Amino acid sequence: MLVIGFLFAGDSMRASQFDSILATLDRFRIEIPSWGFANTGTRFGKFVQPAAASTIAEKLADAGFVHSLTGCCPTVALHVQWDFPRGIESAPEVAGLAAAHGIAPGSINPNLFQDQIYKYGSFGNPDPSVRAAAAQHVAESIDIASRLGSRDISLWFADGSNYPGTANIRHRRRWFQEGLAAAHRLLSPSQRLLVEYKPFEPAFYHTDIADWGMAFLLAREAGPQARVLVDTGHHYAAQNIEQIVAWLLDHGMLGGFHFNDRRYADDDLTLGSIDPYQLFRVFHEILLFEWERGEQAGIAFMIDQSHNLKGKIEAMIQSVVTAQELICKAALVDHAALSAFQLSCDLVPAESCLQDAFSTDVRPVIAEWRRVRGLPENPLDAFRHSGYLERITAERSAHSNAGVSSYA
């Protein structure tokens, strides 16, 4: 390790900083979503890409290729309705395909928003038979997770209403409480229920789980294995996401992230493309917490993006590489010095701890880490020169992608 450090020891980086970066990279894993490789779009339309994956086999092949280039994406998030065409019967095939591509199934995402029965909601639907169908789908998803050895079941609900007075907000909250507690009872001891929140879209008046506080309360009421999932795109524009992260950490309620970037709403842009300093601050809160506690927080880092304009695999690699860079920058914050400055209210030096770390170019050290591990030093370049895109474009153009998609 130190050999690498000395190789790159420039004027501004100390050996201990090299070591922090290397240790961070050794630990850092980020899950990529199967749906990020499929044709997706906006509600106004979809620009299909001939190379887009249209089967679970193709999605896992693409995910495996991203992992082979980056070395830090060993698991793939799966969406039950899109990736398990025969429900739990598809589980062995999915497990086999993942293994064949050197990866493993990751979080399992039930789909409680696409079927016609969910027009007025799933867990919050006034019709008990729809709530029962939603509960059944979640139960099957938990079975799938058990069959695949997946720890996390990630729940996102589109439930809400579009017009004032059309829904009983309190009754719906109760139904959510009951549904989540029932789902929690089905978990095996090693599994977790992650509760995601989102302020609006598709519902435009009220959303049943609209913010982190609602998700927090519902998760806490559901049981000890439930946590909150923070999707960075699911906030109002001015919200301080790292403060939410700090509070959830302090309560032991932060389960994981769906990373993406946004300028306006849930834009699903590549991570760090608009505001890399924000994600740096999020990583900083986590690393500071772990430094204070002397242990890792066990948080699931995941990407939740779908790319309508960029090439899907390129965009995924770009996101993974940016995530590595930002967490490495956050690892350069001098926690001891920062804590002392905070206690003495020494504002400018405290702020500089973050700014100095953020402005450090960590890319040469990351490239060296990759080289030592037999990974390409520049995964994006390696992808462009691999011939993979040309091959799948030719293969996949042979069958039409036009009808294949997911909502995301």
* Beta-strand pair 160-161/206-207: antiparallel
Residues 184-203 as x/- pattern, contact with ligand PSV by CB under 6 A: ------------x-x-----
Q: Which does 266 bind (CB under 5 to 8 A by kind): ligand PSV, Mn ion, none?
A: ligand PSV
- Distance CA(140)–CA(157), nearest Å, equals 17
Closer Cβ to Mn ion, 83 or 304, answer by number: 304
- Distance CA(343)–CA(337), nearest Å, equals 10
Number of residues that bind Mn ion (CB under 5 A): 3
The one-letter amino acid code at 394 reads: A
Enter the tokens of residue 338. 């920062």
Q: Is 139 in the site for ligand PSV (CB under 6 A)?
A: no
- CB 80, min distance to ligand PSV, A: 10
CB distance 73 to 31 below 8 Å: yes
Enter the tokens of residue 406. 């997911």
Question: What DSSP character marks residue 45?
Answer: B
- CB 408, min distance to ligand PSV, A: 3
Paired strand residues for 206: 161
Q: Which does 242 bind (CB under 5 to 8 A by kind): ligand PSV, Mn ion, none?
A: none
Q: Is 152 in the site for Mn ion (CB under 5 A)?
A: no
Q: Is 396 in the site for Mn ion (CB under 5 A)?
A: no
Closer Cβ to ligand PSV, 85 or 92, answer by number: 85
- CB 182, min distance to Mn ion, A: 23
Q: Which of residues 167-186 bind ligand PSV (CB under 6 A)?
A: none
Enter the tokens of residue 128. 């008990």
Q: Is 301 in the site for ligand PSV (CB under 6 A)?
A: no
Q: Is 304 in the site for ligand PSV (CB under 6 A)?
A: yes
Q: Is 258 in the site for ligand PSV (CB under 6 A)?
A: yes
- Distance CA(49)–CA(209), nearest Å, equals 34
Choose which of 156, 157, 216, 257 interacts with ligand PSV (CB under 6 A): 156
- CB 215, min distance to ligand PSV, A: 12
Backbone φ and ψ of 154, nearest 5°: -100, 120
Closer Cβ to ligand PSV, 261 or 368, answer by number: 261
Taking CB atoms within 8 Å and a gap of at least 24, the contacts of 83-90 are 83/34, 83/56, 83/59, 84/56, 84/144, 85/56, 87/140, 87/144, 88/140, 88/143, 88/144, 88/147, 90/56
Choose which of 8, 120, 277, 407 interacts with ligand PSV (CB under 6 A): 407
- Distance CA(399)–CA(395), nearest Å, equals 8
Q: Is 31 in the site for ligand PSV (CB under 6 A)?
A: no
What does the binding site for ligand PSV look like in residue numbers (CB under 6 A)? 35, 109, 156, 196, 198, 231, 258, 266, 304, 407-408
